[in-house]
Structure 1
Amino acid sequence: MLLSLKWLREFVPLEASAQELGDRLTMLGLELEDILHPYDGIKTIVVGHVLTKEAHPDSDHLAVCTVDVGQGEPLTIVCGAPNVAAGQKVPVALVGTTMPGGMVIKKAKLRGVPSFGMICSERELGLTDDHSGIMVLPEAFRVGDRLVDALDLDTEILEIGITPNRGDCLSVLGLAREAALAFKLPLTMPKVHVEEKGADWTSEWSIGIPKPELCPFYQLRLVEGVTVKPSPAWMRYRLHAVGVRPISNIVDITNYVLMELGQPLHAFDRDKLEGGRTEISLAREGERIVTLDGQERVLTASDLLIRDGVKPVALAGVMGGLETEISDASRAVMVESAVFRPETIRKTARRQSLPSEASYRFERGVDQGGSAYAMNRAVSLMAECAGGVVRTGACTLEPKPWIASVPTFRVRRAVDLLGMDVEPAFCADTLERLGCALDRGDEAAWKVTTPSWRQDLSREVDLIEEIARVKGMDTIPETLPAVSRPLERFGQPESRYAFLSRVKAWGSGLGLNEAENYSFVGHKDLDHLGLPKEGRIDIINPLTEEQNVLRTALAPSLLQNVRTNIAHGNMGVRLFEVANVFEADAASQTTAKERARLGLVMYGSLYDTAWPHAEMDAGYADIRGLVEHFAGFLHLAVPAFIREAEHPAYAPCVRVEIDGRPVGLIGQVKPQLADAYHARKPVWLAELDLETLWELHQQARIAFRPLAVFPPSRRDVTVIAPTALSVSAIEEHIRGLRIAILEDVTLIDLYEPKDTEERNLTFRLTFRKADRTLKDAEVDKEREKVAQSLVKNLGVRI
């Protein structure tokens, strides 16, 4: 929102500077983004007086003028404008001036006559597009004054960021209310006097609103005998300063009131309306209208139209129709002031890619209580600036009158929520200065009637937030909330949130870095990994094409993290992410099924550079070890790792099962796919279903047993096995021998010779007896039994 400081001061007697005002508004939640000086480019232009004008001796269209600029001797200036004349007050750019377009004014000779400056047109000054001749200033202007001061231009413009819930601040009036609140100043509304003439015209016209929820208020007023021409200079320059292009007096007035009061208005040429009726109703599927920008719009049954008795005349709340626009020939104007349902306007503007100042405000809600005031302000300006006559009567239909919210406010509740003391007198004063009416019959619980322009104040907590921002968010003391876990909750089931928090603590405790990614990815990311197209949920209005679908797996995001780390020179990536994935589900209330997943990714160096063996790269055993450790962390059975024959993204790919239930996958990203993420070493990924794991964890029962008293004995056995024989198959066979003193089996080394279909696998066997120390002979005997069984049953060599 662009706010003119000079315009604001017409509402509030503010003496603070633009920066001071911006700082106070920022503390109230309306962030100052910039302070603009729209007329800095012409701050050196001065008012001059043309003393003489003579024909140029060597040109038919140039004139030689002497101009008094209040700086000693008059200047000789050669001018080619057709309307320059002696006796005029004109804007003069002196030698050395840099014009808004970048041109530097220099001493020059034009066809032999020296010229010491330039007499300017409005376009050369950047005020309007008019370049038909020089700009002629009022006689009362004083020679030598700066033009910006003489014209009383809006030289300081504040750019204020408005949050979506504060549609009331999208106007000078709205921000003036905030300034009055911040500086405890009175607010003065513009005086509006509508002098109605002629017979009441409302019997000649009717309004129909079939669905009141789409348009709770609609009003028309008629102004006759207008002359369409350029607006007064003060209005044109003010609109220009806040970024609105002046068009004509009638259109400019509607834009002026829009920026001043926040109420969008529209002006129709009355003579182009037919049927004596206006109807606000939904369009028919495929219905068409040509809008003011000359584009034909194809509508849907959810778009709201304004129709006269014969045809569509406007796309409600977005843009008027070309067929009924104001032109230079218009003599009678019908002005519209309305309130539309925000959702309807927002969807139409987005679908038609047709944002406008009007739709921007309607989308956030306009002040229904102030709509009639804005209408009167507009028609009074039309009578003043266009010579029109306001006909008696306003054709009004309000099928759904505004009903103010009346929340309860408790000072004690405000103290509890804010964590600081607030005085009842301060609360009452603040609410009243916000425009609320108070019923303090019950001192403990006030009834607060909120104003029509603050639609965001509907609950007690909203009022408490207002107290906090006026008091100052920075004055709220910093205190850590007390966190207690009562004894009566002991033994209750763990919440899903607590479970996921423990999973994150596990990942951090292992030294992994946690990744936090958007839930959005691109279709091309999912397609790149060959993930199924079924079940994907498209984003209707994606921020970018790279984020146009909800992710069905964590892998695309984690691989993007790998690419980012590689780009920043990190050659050792060890990340985890706990997040939801999404799948379309028509049976769900939200049409989406969400499941929590744990994603793990390892790439490059296994250790930090400060550790020994930093050159070792992460491999399958490392990421499998993380999965096994996680299963142990959840007190689950040892996972089974089953090799998958084929996977679109991973090779090799291993399915992880616990108690016969699949819980996830481990795999190496195929090199041709990993290359897109700039990976030059193997990328290992694991993705586990936390919903299933949580269910298994809840079913797990922890059994306690005494700690071992006697030491273990360990023996290694190396087998030469075909590559088709999985490690898990060998481990399962060893465990299946059910050797009483065998406590554990662990793969500790793997060697794959080149040009062979075999590999060397070294397993460490841990033996222990609970009641005594084992002898070497009995341990060696059991180790030999394992070796012989492997050779006999699995066909390996020792």
Structure 2
Amino acid sequence: MKISYNWLKQFVNLDWDAEQAGELLTDLGLEVEGIDTYQSLKGGLEGVIIGQVLSCEKHPNADKLKVTKVDFGNGDPVQIVCGAPNVAAGQKVPVATIGTKLYDDKGEEWVIKKGKIRGEESHGMICAEDELGLGQSHDGIMILDTDIPVGTKASEIFDIENDTVFEIGLTPNRADAMSHWGTARDLKAGLLQKDITIELITPSVSNFRVENRLHKIDIEVKDASLAPRYCGVTISDIKVKESPSWLQNRLKAIGITPKNNVVDVTNYVLHELGQPLHAFDAHYIDGNKIEVKTLEKGTKFTTLDEVERELHEEDLMICDETKPLCIAGVFGGINSGVTETTTSIFLESAYFNPVSIRKTAKRHGLNTDASFRFERGIDPNITEYALKRAALLIQELAGGNISSEIIDLYPKKLEDFQVLLSFENATKLIGEELPQDTIKSILSSLDIKINSISETGIGLTIPAYRNDVQREADVIEEILRVYGYNNIGFTQKLNASISNIDKFSDYNVQNTISNQLVGQGFNEMLANSLTSPEYTKLSEQLKGENNVVMLNPLSNDLAVMRQSLLFSGLEAISHNINRKRSDLKLFEFGKTYHSYNEERVENKHLGILISGNRALESWKTGQQASDFFFLKGVVSSVLERLGLGIQKLKTSTFKNDVLSEGIIFSLGKTKLVEFGIVKKSVLKHFSISQEVLYADFNWDNVLAYAKHTKIKYKDIPKFPEVRRDFALLIDDVVKFEDIQTIARQTEKHLLKNVNLFDVYQGKNLPKGKKSYAVSFILQDEHKTLTDKQIDKIMNKLQHNFENKLGAELR
């Protein structure tokens, strides 16, 4: 937000320099991010001096040039070659001296230098209007009043505005400060704490008069909840023209391009008081009636930017009896605005529902000065005052007559907020006990009315325009920011507390697993919990009716809370692949959100995503793509680290509409994790062409079982392990899991590991058969195994495989 210091000083009579005022504004919470200078004329005519032409002779070497002598009042006339046809002796003229910087119509700088023109020296330039930026004429030099003293600086003769502009980083809660008046209010409160008492100068509207009642326009508000207050008045017999320089300079200083005197006044009052206004050409209002209402969904409406928009059924519109004229509080229509031919206007001032305006602005991708203020909440009590202020300015600049009474529809007054402030709570939050008189003084300076005072606290009425101050804590924050954060002393005492944290607390376990995954080459990601409602259409398991919907979404892509970590993870995968990072290992701890029969449910998950090669390309190793079994190893390592070894878990395979194949690890009926390969149809939605592996841990369930798991530590065995292999011919339907289960049931103590290291199907095998090469690791932790023991175990394994699986040794 830009604030003009000259404009600000119209409200507070302050002689501080801009930097000092900026420091106080920053201390008050209106952080000044930058201070710029503004000049109504670039360069400010610095170096341009009023001179008198003493003599004017024809140039000896050029027919159209003249050689002049110009006096600057210092007793040392200079020679200047001039090509203007109207230059003559005795004239007072503006002269750009050597070194002066002038600017062309594109803002490009050029410097006046000493030189020779056709053999004659020239020590400056006698200037025309356009060369100084004072007009468009280039017919000849400017000839000034002869009463102007020679040697006078041109900047003292011409009306040049020099201003300082603050760039304020306004936080969304400070709707009250979205104007020069609001900023001045804060500045006054801050100055009072420095024992500087100044009055806030308020523009007077006492001269407002209704000249006639010949052009009344009726107003009807269909839904007062969307437009709690609506005011309007008509002004007739106006003349639309260019605004005076003072008004143009005010607007230009804060980056607004002047248009005409009527539109400029509405912009001026908006930035002066914070009240958006709109002027309609009364000639285009059919039926002499304004209706504030919503229209049917799909209604077409063309806005001032010549874009045809399709209206939503919740968009509040300003209409006449036959057509829409304006999107209320956001943007005007193409045919309802003020033009050079306008002779009468209907001037609108209103308070619209902030949520309604915000939704409409976001829906249509519009962000105007008006919507910026309406959607944050303006002061409902200045609606009529701002209307009168604008009407008087329009009369001053465009003439005309007030041709109707002000119609003010305000059926239900917006009440001020009532808050009880406890002195004890103020001391606790501030960290220092402030004198009660200081607290009362600060509150009064902020227009907060004190209703009652007791030994323990104060009863307060907060003005409606401070919609960010509705709680006791908000009031204390207001006191503190005006008192000054820098004025709060530091204690010499250092307090510290030590809390007892369970080693199985979510925080500790999450950090343990995060460190493990990072050690395995993963990167942690953090995605937005807000996502697109369209993602529920990618999975039949996710239902649109279970979405937790945002009441006031930032955009359609952030309209609901996510039901799965998968889709935000795929967004990250796609984002990285599009930036030439295709070897990815990501994990995220996050929550999912569901709405079941009006009950909101949050579940914590750990999501793991893998795509591309296992490791970066290297001359030492070849490229190896990540596959399902690599993901299974990662999942198993997470569970093993928490004491939930896969030998304790139930394993089941599955397919669904998101994963083309996968495995679920469960304990009893409780699902801990499901993982697999993401379907290509889902990847296509995110423009991903390479395979993506995904694991979804139900972290709440994992944590619940991890707390009850005892992890045992034992010495590394001193005795060697023994490996034996079987090549088993088995039926196609037999799974490795079956072999593993039978092996562990056969030998529970000495069998340490079972591994499948080769699979063969095809030529030279009977139909319906396959060959598994399986290794068995045997070890006794207390002694060396003998051949007799090993053979006995292997024979039992062979026997059970033959009897239970119909296996044969190859």
Tell me if 1:162 matches 2:173: no
Q: Deviations over 1:301-324 (max 9, x none)?
A: 322222345554433212334444
Tell me if 1:102 matches 2:108: yes
**What amino acid is aligned across from residue 249 of structure 2 in structure 1?**
Y
Residue 508 (structure 1) shift: 3.3
Partner of 1:325: 337
**Which aligned pairs between 1:126-525 and structure 2 lie closer than 5 A?**
144-145=152-153, 147=155, 151-184=159-192, 185=196, 186-197=198-209, 201=213, 204-308=216-320, 311-390=323-402, 393-473=405-485, 475=488, 482=497, 500-508=506-514, 510=516, 512=518, 515-519=524-528
SS in 1 for 2:339: coil
Q: Call closer, same or farther: CA 1:218–1:557 in 2, change over 3 Å.
A: closer
CA distance in 2, matches of 1:712, 1:35: 78
Residue 436 (structure 1) shift: 0.7
Tell me if 1:656 matches 2:662: no
CA distance in 2, matches of 1:578, 1:216: 45
Q: Call closer, same or farther: CA 1:553–1:424 in 2, change over 3 Å.
A: same
Q: Call closer, same or farther: CA 1:704–1:51 in 2, change over 3 Å.
A: closer
Residue 403 (structure 1) shift: 1.2
Residue 668 (structure 1) shift: 6.5
Q: Deviations over 1:623-647 (max 9, x none)?
A: 5455345446276872244455899
CA distance in 1, matches of 2:680, 2:729: 24
Residue 264 (structure 1) shift: 1.0
CA distance in 1, matches of 2:314, 2:252: 35
Q: Structure 1 residues 529-538 or 726-735, which shifts more?
A: 529-538
CA distance in 2, matches of 1:138, 1:224: 40
Q: Deviations over 1:487-522 (max 9, x none)?
A: xxx9xxx9xxx9643541331353636623223699
Q: Deviations over 1:400-439 (max 9, x none)?
A: 2231101111121123334444443333232222221113
Residue 171 (structure 1) shift: 0.9
Partner of 1:25: 25
SS in 1 for 2:252: helix
CA distance in 1, matches of 2:65, 2:334: 41
Partner of 2:766: none
SS in 1 for 2:163: coil
Q: Call closer, same or farther: CA 1:563–1:203 in 2, change over 3 Å.
A: closer
Q: Deviations over 1:589-620 (max 9, x none)?
A: 67xx75432123568999999xx999999887
Partner of 1:639: 649
Contact 2:95–2:125 (Cα < 8 Å) also in 1: no
CA distance in 2, matches of 1:254, 1:30: 25
Contact 2:539–2:657 (Cα < 8 Å) also in 1: no
Partner of 2:726: 719
Contact 1:631–1:639 (Cα < 8 Å) also in 2: no
Q: Call closer, same or farther: CA 1:577–1:169 in 2, change over 3 Å.
A: same
Residue 182 (structure 1) shift: 3.2
CA distance in 2, matches of 1:373, 1:84: 56
Q: Call closer, same or farther: CA 1:106–1:399 in 2, change over 3 Å.
A: same
Partner of 1:746: 753
Q: Call closer, same or farther: CA 1:672–1:266 in 2, change over 3 Å.
A: closer
TM (norm. structure 1) is: 0.77
Q: Structure 1 residues 702-711 or 98-107, which shifts more?
A: 702-711
TM (norm. structure 2) is: 0.76
Residue 570 (structure 1) shift: 10
Contact 1:285–1:300 (Cα < 8 Å) also in 2: yes
Q: Structure 1 residues 178-187 or 230-239, which shifts more?
A: 178-187
SS in 2 for 1:180: helix
Q: Call closer, same or farther: CA 1:543–1:201 in 2, change over 3 Å.
A: closer
**What amino acid is aligned across from residue 3 of structure 2 in structure 1?**
L
Q: Call closer, same or farther: CA 1:775–1:405 in 2, change over 3 Å.
A: same
CA distance in 2, matches of 1:91, 1:320: 47
Q: Call closer, same or farther: CA 1:631–1:464 in 2, change over 3 Å.
A: same
Contact 1:210–1:280 (Cα < 8 Å) also in 2: yes
Residue 157 (structure 1) shift: 1.5
Residue 344 (structure 1) shift: 1.9
Partner of 1:731: 740
Q: Structure 1 residues 637-646 or 328-337, which shifts more?
A: 637-646
Residue 173 (structure 1) shift: 1.4
Contact 2:721–2:780 (Cα < 8 Å) also in 1: yes
Partner of 2:605: 597
CA distance in 1, matches of 2:273, 2:464: 13
Partner of 1:786: 797
Partner of 1:37: 37
CA distance in 1, matches of 2:398, 2:373: 27
SS in 1 for 2:453: coil
Partner of 2:3: 3
Residue 759 (structure 1) shift: 6.0
Contact 1:715–1:765 (Cα < 8 Å) also in 2: yes
Same amino acid, percent of matched pairs: 24
CA distance in 2, matches of 1:103, 1:754: 83
Q: Structure 1 residues 10-19 or 640-649, which shifts more?
A: 640-649
**What amino acid is aligned across from residue 793 of structure 2 in structure 1?**
E
Q: Call closer, same or farther: CA 1:149–1:301 in 2, change over 3 Å.
A: farther
CA distance in 1, matches of 2:148, 2:296: 57
Residue 395 (structure 1) shift: 2.7
Contact 1:303–1:348 (Cα < 8 Å) also in 2: yes
Q: Deviations over 1:731-779 (max 9, x none)?
A: 2112333x4x52764346846799998664433346689xx99998556
Question: Structure 1: 5+ residue runs without aligned partners?
Answer: none
SS in 1 for 2:604: strand
CA distance in 2, matches of 1:123, 1:313: 44
Contact 1:192–1:380 (Cα < 8 Å) also in 2: no
CA distance in 1, matches of 2:248, 2:471: 42
Contact 1:177–1:187 (Cα < 8 Å) also in 2: no
CA distance in 1, matches of 2:186, 2:160: 25
Tell me the C-alpha RMSD between the 2 structures.
5.7
Contact 2:48–2:100 (Cα < 8 Å) also in 1: no
**What amino acid is aligned across from residue 719 of structure 1 in structure 2?**
F
**Which aligned pairs between 1:690-705 and structure 2 lie closer than 5 A?**
690-693=699-702, 697=705
Contact 1:286–1:298 (Cα < 8 Å) also in 2: yes
CA distance in 2, matches of 1:64, 1:533: 91
Contact 1:124–1:131 (Cα < 8 Å) also in 2: no
Contact 2:102–2:132 (Cα < 8 Å) also in 1: no
Residue 9 (structure 1) shift: 2.3
Q: Call closer, same or farther: CA 1:556–1:446 in 2, change over 3 Å.
A: same
